[in-house]
Amino acid sequence: MGMNVGSSSDEDQINSSINTTPLVDVMLVLLIIFLITIPVVTTSIKLQLPKEEIQIRESKPENIVISVNADSKMFMYDTPIRDIRDLTDRLKKVSKMDPQPEVHIRGDLTATYDGVGRVIFACRSAGISKIAFLTEPAARE
């Protein structure tokens, strides 16, 4: 019986490829650790952040502004509106425009909901899809 102690010529070649499996395993473990710890770190301090009451909107010239005063009288820009039918007819013409403009409702602080509700009803009847309410920002102290 003989024993081969030396290496053959096929085994003498150097393996120069990099084994990336351990690197991928380490990176996945680090990713999981970061995904678990980041939400804990960012929300560890409980704060009550200030909240703004209104969102500042820039009124575009193509937007329609309807005002409702304290007596529930309606105005489109500065023109008085006779009744709800008159308002609906005017808004039907506006609703056919492309792109359709927004309707901004300015309601007086002391106006009843009925007056503002009639404007909303007229907008929906005319097919207006975007309605917004205009307010004034609260006084800062």
* pLDDT one-digit tens code per residue, 71-81: 888 888 888 88
Band the pLDDT of 15: cuts 50, 70, 90. Answer: confident
- Report CA-CA distances (Å) from 121 to 85, 95, 125: 11, 14, 6
* pLDDT one-digit tens code per residue, 18-63: 888 888 999 999 999 888 877 665 544 444 545 556 565 566 667 8
pLDDT at 70: 82
H or E stretch at 138: none
The pTM (predicted TM-score) of the whole model is 0.56
Band the pLDDT of 139: cuts 50, 70, 90. Answer: low
Q: Which residue do the tokens 């056919």 mark?
A: 96
H or E stretch at 117: helix 113-126
H or E stretch at 64: strand 64-68
Those residues whose C-beta lies under 8 Å from the C-beta of residue 87, and which sit 6 or more positions away, are: 66, 74, 76, 81, 118, 119, 122
In degrees rounded to 5, what are phi and psi of residue 80?
-65, 145
CA separation for the pair 119, 121 (Å, rounded): 5
* pLDDT one-digit tens code per residue, 70-115: 888 888 888 888 889 999 999 999 888 888 888 988 888 778 888 8
pLDDT at 45: 44
pLDDT at 111: 80
Beta strand 64-68 with 79-80 is: unpaired
Q: Which residue do the tokens 């393996």 mark?
A: 15
In CATH, the number for domain 64-133 is: 3.30.420.270
